[in-house]
Structure 1
Amino acid sequence: MTTLNGTELKAHDTLVVGGTGNVGYFLVDGFLRAGARVLVPSRSQANLDRLRSRLGPAAAQRLVPVLGDIGTADGAARIQARVGELTGELYAVAAAPASWHQTASMLQAGFADFKHVIETRLYPHYLAAEALLPLIATAGSYTTINGPAGFISPPPPGIGAIAVAAAAQNKLIEAIAAETAGRPRVNDVVMKAFLGPRGTRPGSPLTGEQVGDYLAALAANGTGVHNRTLQLHDPRQVDQALSGTFA
């Protein structure tokens, strides 16, 4: 199995939105293993401290915590300003601010629950892109992490709200990609992996490390990949990505 060699993103500044989460940890880890310095915004100092501890002292030397809330318009503007102070230019951003949501029934859960899912799973993707795209090098990349719920037809009743958010996220990223015209590259990765607070869950088609490898390889090697919805579900795709192929 091929893996990162530590030079793919060496000397580059990168950023992971949602980097203290279950998926985000592996994106931070992948960028670090590719040689990058990684900025991670979070509302919680405790979560940033936990991330630093989980990564270990050697990797954490290239971790730059940014305290703030990118999930609000004011917070995103403050993070934009702070990131601008910390780096001359970002080369890659990976955004995984959303988490899973499931109820017995979307309709029975009611409008307040649906509104909460849209506001907390979809809006942060717009706010992050609005704040961070201006800081990315024209040759760099912006990648969002999506889940398969938005691509199931029809979605089961209990995942209706998150399916709507995921489908809307995909169209949002396509619209943003059309506006950047590839400078920087913008893509949506639909990831089929089961990742929890203790790492990869049993039965997952991909390990968290493989997800990190793929995202780092996309940032470093995917120079012609733009405005794509990339369905990541097979370890063979990771090997191909590390050699510069994104099917």
Structure 2
Amino acid sequence: MKDLTALVLGGTGDVGEGIVRSFLKHGATVIVPSRSQVKGDALRDYVGDIETGTLKTVDGLFDTPAEAEALRDRIAALSSRIDLIVAALGGWSQGFAITDLGFDQWERILRNNLTTHFLAMKTFVPLLASGSGTYVHINGQSAEGPHPGAGPVAAMSAAQRSLTLTLAEELRPSGLKVHELLMPPINTRRRISHHHDRPEWPSAEDIGDYVATLIDRNDDVVTHWIEPKKI
């Protein structure tokens, strides 16, 4: 990944920050959109010990098409070439059966865990280097089966997977690659601080290392199931 430019969507989040650390260690230039300068500054502090790579943060939202397009233009002004996009977006929500979930809660989960991914694909994929760029979608294994108490989030994961697989087929003639990573639970800093981590789970930085390996070997496989102890 040395000398590549990567755009990490969700790079200030629990999983995204580890991916950013990994990419910097591999010598990449990493662009991270942030909803606020505070989040961008916190990320800079977190990776401040890394002496390789270059981190560029840019403030901006992409909750709506107009916001996404404005952010796209700011990113394009930072770099004329994007080699890799990683989407580590959305969040987990549980505690309600489907029949007990409020409509407002459903709408929020739909917006945060699916609409955001649609806007990311539609708006930022055109920034990828022609014929050689790669889009990586970070997903959970919740996309694969029932999850009582977390049904809406699992449904969004399944829908994200469908979108990503379709994107892979639609982009295939262009030479652009797409990878769908299905993750087990990840030992994020937040999870570790709450003592909810497990030794067999990968860290967020491990996920970044895995993506770097895919890029370095020019992998053609679309779907990757990441099992505990397999990274």
TM-score exceeds 0.5: yes
Looking at structure 1, the residues matched to 209 and 202 of structure 2 have their Cα atoms a distance apart, in angstroms, of 11
Q: Check whether the contact 2:188–2:203 (CA below 8 A) recurs between aligned residues.
A: no
The answer to whether 1:229 aligns with 2:223 is yes
1:15-68: CA deviation from partner (whole Å, max 9, x where unpaired): 100000000011111211111000000111111111100111544871100110
Structure 2 residue ranges without an equivalent (≥5) = none
Taking only aligned residues, the RMSD between alpha carbons, in angstroms, comes to: 1.8
1:180 deviates by 0.5
Q: Check whether the contact 2:25–2:50 (CA below 8 A) recurs between aligned residues.
A: no
Structure 1 residue ranges without an equivalent (≥5) = 1-8, 239-247
Structure-to-structure mapping, 1:55-74, within 5 angstroms: 55-59=47-51, 62-74=54-66
Identity %: 32
Q: 1:113 aligns with which of 105, 110, 117?
A: 105
- For 1:148, the equivalent position in structure 2 comes to 141
Amino acid at match of 1:210: D
How high is the TM-score relative to the length of structure 1? 0.85
Q: Check whether the contact 2:30–2:53 (CA below 8 A) recurs between aligned residues.
A: no
Amino acid at match of 1:218: L
1:119-171: CA deviation from partner (whole Å, max 9, x where unpaired): 1111111111111111112212100111111212x321x11000110000000
Q: How many residues align?
A: 225
Equivalent position SS for 2:138: strand
1:61-106: CA deviation from partner (whole Å, max 9, x where unpaired): 7110011012321111011111111111111111011111112322
Looking at structure 2, the residues matched to 48 and 124 of structure 1 have their Cα atoms a distance apart, in angstroms, of 19
Equivalent position SS for 2:15: helix
Amino acid at match of 1:169: Q
Equivalent position SS for 2:61: coil
How high is the TM-score relative to the length of structure 2? 0.90
- For 1:161, the equivalent position in structure 2 comes to 152
1:113 deviates by 1.0
Looking at structure 2, the residues matched to 224 and 147 of structure 1 have their Cα atoms a distance apart, in angstroms, of 20
Equivalent position SS for 1:149: helix
Amino acid at match of 1:212: G
